Amino acid sequence: MAQRVIVEPMGAGLTRNWDVEEVLFEGRTAFQNVLIGRTAQGISLFCDDERQSTELSQLVYHEALMIPSLLLADRVERVLIIGSSEGVASELAVAAGAEVVDHVDIDAEAVRVCAEYLPYGYTLEDLALAEKGEGKIRVHYRDGWEFLAEARERGDSYDVVVIDLPDENDDPEAQHNRLYGNDFLARCAALLAEGGVVGCQGGCPTLWRNQTLITSWRRFTESFGTALYYGSDEHEWAFLSGRADVLIDPVAFVAEKIGKAGIGESTLDEDALRANTVPPISLRKQ
């Protein structure tokens, strides 16, 4: 028998039930309700009753988030990650050759709980070093909007900026929604070095829950000369990458680089890149 059942909203009139066999942590941070527990997919992270990652699928998710953007950029030396509390995205950036990774997350308690209880991402030792700024990863417990403004004042620039937050919703009090809009994308783009890329968790391509993806795709195509779609074929999420200039064939550009740019072929390879970068027809019609 499950110790808990988490009812996750999936769309209008739809929910998904998660049986939690054992609760490892549950608490209210300053920003959200966090639960980490054992499910049929291994140790799993839920925030405000929304599944964020599971032991089974987290690498598929994080590589689909990070690798297309890392490949689309001309260089991968300095990376900025906003959100992504688990720390896997930061580790993938370092594995791809980044010398500096600034990881910005407003919820310090959530990041620390993830490091303590999740078997992936930061360990407590890793996080302690990153909080001190010792090593390639530097963790900043800040509001992403404010961090970007201060980074621009300092004249900082990045080769890749990745936004990894919970999906947009219609809650007027959800502070993360403002980090999806055109204004925030413009602020991210303003920090890019030449040939730099902004990447984002775009939404779900499934027909009955694709509204946020349609909105995100419109924003990216309006904001960037090149917009690249990657819809994971082994997860339920799609991811968007954009760079200011126009590439004639961005799919060929990234597919030819994989395996040659210090990025291994773990859950995503050249065939996956070529197969999963055609946006659904509902996006192409926009």
Does 77 share its domain with 216? Answer: yes
252-278: pLDDT as tens digits: 999 989 877 667 668 999 999 999 999
220-241: pLDDT as tens digits: 999 999 999 999 999 999 999 9
Does 38 share its domain with 164? Answer: no
Q: If 0-12 CB within 10 Å is exposed, 13-18 middle and 19+ buried, where does residue 199 land?
A: buried
Is 126 annotated as a binding-site member? no
Domain that holds residue 130: 57-277
- 164 labelled catalytic: yes
**Residue 138 CA, distance from chain mean position:** 17
Residue 125 lies in a domain: yes
**Dihedrals phi, psi of 163, to nearest 5 degrees:** -110, 115
Q: At 210, which amino acid appears? A: N
Cα–Cα distance measured from residue 220 to residue 244, given in angstroms and rounded to the nearest whole number: 10
112-143: pLDDT as tens digits: 999 999 999 999 999 999 999 999 999 999 99
The residue with greater pLDDT, 76 or 266, is: 76
The whole-model pTM stands at 0.94
Is 143 annotated as a binding-site member? yes
Poorest-confidence range of 159-173, 179-193, 231-245, 268-282?
159-173
Does 263 share its domain with 188? Answer: yes
Q: If 0-12 CB within 10 Å is exposed, 13-18 middle and 19+ buried, where does residue 279 land?
A: buried
Does 39 share its domain with 175? Answer: no
Residue 217 lies in a domain: yes
pLDDT at 58 over 90: yes
Residue 171's pLDDT band, with cuts at 50, 70 and 90, is low
Does 103 share its domain with 48? Answer: no
With beta carbons less than 8 A apart as the criterion, state whether 286 and 217 touch: yes
Is 279 annotated as a binding-site member? no
Does 43 share its domain with 82? Answer: no
Poorest-confidence range of 1-15, 32-46, 194-208?
1-15
Residue 115 lies in a domain: yes
Is 58 annotated as a binding-site member? no
Poorest-confidence range of 8-17, 34-43, 101-110?
8-17
With beta carbons less than 8 A apart as the criterion, state whether 154 and 140 touch: no
pLDDT at 180 over 80: no
Query: Cα dihedral sign for 97, 100, 106, 111?
Result: positive
Residue 165's pLDDT band, with cuts at 50, 70 and 90, is confident
Cα–Cα distance measured from residue 241 to residue 197, given in angstroms and rounded to the nearest whole number: 7
pLDDT at 172 over 60: no
Does 155 share its domain with 72? Answer: yes
pLDDT at 10 over 60: yes
- Using DSSP, state whether 59 is helix, strand or coil: helix
- Going through the chain in order, the beta strands assigned E by DSSP cover 4-11, 14-20, 22-28, 33-39, 42-47, 50-54, 78-83, 100-104, 137-140, 158-164, 192-203, 226-231, 238-243
Does 41 share its domain with 89? Answer: no
Is 86 annotated as a binding-site member? yes
Does 206 share its domain with 98? Answer: yes
Is 201 annotated as a binding-site member? no
pLDDT at 176 over 60: no
Which DSSP symbol is given to 285? Answer: T
Predicted pLDDT at 183: 85
Residue 286 lies in a domain: no
39-54: pLDDT as tens digits: 999 999 999 999 999 9
pLDDT at 1 over 70: no
Residue 216: give its domain's CATH number.
3.40.50.150
With beta carbons less than 8 A apart as the criterion, state whether 23 and 35 touch: yes
Does 78 share its domain with 187? Answer: yes
Q: Looking at the 3D structure of the chain, how many domains does it have?
A: 2
Residue 45: give its domain's CATH number.
2.30.140.10
Predicted pLDDT at 12: 85
Is 172 annotated as a binding-site member? yes
Mean pLDDT, rounded, of the chain: 92
Does 122 share its domain with 233? Answer: yes
Does 43 share its domain with 127? Answer: no
- Quote the crossing angle between the two packed helices 250-257 and 58-72, to the nearest 10°: 110
Cα–Cα distance measured from residue 102 to residue 97, given in angstroms and rounded to the nearest whole number: 14
The residue with greater pLDDT, 181 or 276, is: 276
Q: Which of 164, 171, 245, 271 is catalytic?
A: 164
Predicted pLDDT at 11: 83
Percentage of the chain lying above the pLDDT 90 cut:
84
